[in-house]
Amino acid sequence: MRIAVVGVGATGARVARQLVAAPEVTEVRLIDPDRDRLRSVAKSLGDPAVVGGPSYDPAVEVDLVVLASPPGRHRLQAELALGAGADVVSTADSVEDVRALLELDEVATERGRRIVVGAGFSPGLTCLLARHAAGTLDVIDEIHVAKTGTGGPTCARQHHRALAGGAVDYREGAWVQRRGRTGRELCWFPDPVGAVDCYRASLPEVHLLVPAFPGVSRVTARMSATRRDRLTALLPMMRRPHAEGGPGALRVEVRGRRGKERHVMLLGAMDHPAVAAGAVAAVVAISLRDADTFAPGARGLADLDDPVPVLRALERRGVSCAVFEGT
Amino acid sequence: MLRAWQRAFVACGLAGLIAGILRLRGSGGTPPSRGGWRQLEGPDLR
């Protein structure tokens, strides 16, 4: 498998590291406008990583393109990759990128190519956990997602933008516009993260989960924020984002029915977001080698029929998930 | 002077009241009373 990784920041470098260790991968072509970073990442990875150019060149033949570039360019890069006959795995975490990529569904289907949208920590692992929890229930009524923590500087900037933007909830079959930074909910994440205040924000999970679960009546997404985050969300970032965030966590609550009884499944994960996102994108990229994993088109990881092989592969790479048992 | 102090106290009181209302708004917050998180493994991933 020849794979191009576009963007070698905190997440892209982790994706590339996971890919070079996979026996199925014969070439990992690294692409980034920052030449120094590109060379240092390629040098640290060794074979089969090779230095590509500053931007994705569809003339260089690869089987798959992993998009880990900053938000705003994923659709254009995906279109170029589709034109060159390559599959696409995107770690997009902005609503605009996710929606723009989902709009490529028809084009991708026509060309028999696959675009996996939001294959990171959140969205990505959140969608896998929602699908896994849904598998234990007969009817899915509600899905509520919460996340805390950020990966690299691009992720931190996106966190800031998401808090400033408007949120969308899905309620009883309708999209409801909500103000970001509202709807405080104290969410209990897997240990050692524990309880964190979470708020509505411009998060892409709702756009990925609603089409994947026809008949669901409520889908919401929240993310953690401090008082300072909320106060300064509408201003430019007060200080340079950190090179790497600390531990993050996810919490996915799926409510529904098993037989005649109502059940709540609560799944979660705790990891460094960039590390987990790198593992998710790499595992999904490798799984696309099998033509049956995903049908042609553009969709998120909640559309997987069976998320267990991906979750097992993630566990082997040290990304483990948890289930809440109790009241 | 006394009037200024009164105004300051009223302003602080109002600020505290508004902050309290904002803080209390929202749902959730009930800590788990029993059980906890358990790693997904083996039978959970079949």
Structural contact between residues A204 and A101, judged by C-beta atoms closer than 8 angstroms: no
ipTM: 0.82
Which of A277, A278, A279, A219 is closest to A252 using CA atoms? A219
* Mean pLDDT for all residues in chain A: 94
Q: What is the average per-residue pLDDT within A172-195?
A: 92
Q: How far apart are CA A183 and CA A195, in angstroms?
A: 16
User: Which chain A residue has its CA at the smallest distance from B33's CA?
Assistant: A327
The shortest CB-CB distance from B26 to any of A185, A268, A327 is to: A185
What pLDDT score was predicted for residue B22?
A: 65
Euclidean distance between CA atoms A77 and A74, whole angstroms: 5
> Is B39 touching A (CB cutoff 8 A)?
yes
Nearest C-alpha neighbor of A98 from the set A62, A132, A72, A135: A72
Q: What is the mean pLDDT of each run of 10 residues along chain B (46 residues)?
A: 86 86 60 82 78
Please tell me if residue B41 touches chain A, with a CB cutoff of 8 Å.
yes
**Three-class SS of residue A93?**
coil
Mean pLDDT value of segment A84-94 = 96
Q: Please write the tens of the pLDDT for every residue from A245-303.
A: 889 999 999 999 999 999 999 999 999 999 999 999 999 999 998 888 889 999 999 99
The residue of chain A nearest to residue B32, with distances taken between CA atoms, is A327
Sequence-distant contacts of A73-77: CB under 8 A, at least 24 apart: A74/A100, A74/A101, A75/A100, A75/A101, A75/A103, A75/A104, A77/A6
Q: What does the DSSP 8-state code read for residue A120?
A: B
Taking CA atoms, what residue in A is nearest to B37? Answer: A324
A308: confidence class by pLDDT, cuts 50, 70, 90: very high
State pLDDT tens for residues A126-165.
999 999 999 999 999 999 999 999 999 999 999 999 999 8
Q: Is the CB of residue B38 less than 8 Å away from at least one CB of chain A?
A: yes
Residue B46, chain A, CB below 8 Å: the answer is yes
Q: Do the Cβ atoms of A154 and A10 come closer than 8 Å?
A: yes
Q: Give the separation between CA A235 and CA A126, rounded to whole angstroms.
A: 29
A239 CB contacts (<8 Å, ≥6 apart)? none
In chain A, which residues have their Cβ closer than 8 Å to the Cβ of B27?
183-185
CB atoms within 10 A of CB A238: 9
Helices (H), chain A: 10-20, 35-45, 74-83, 95-102, 105-111, 125-134, 153-164, 205-212, 227-232, 273-287, 308-316
CB atoms within 10 A of CB A239: 6
Whether the CB-CB separation of A138 and A265 falls below 8 Å is answered with: no
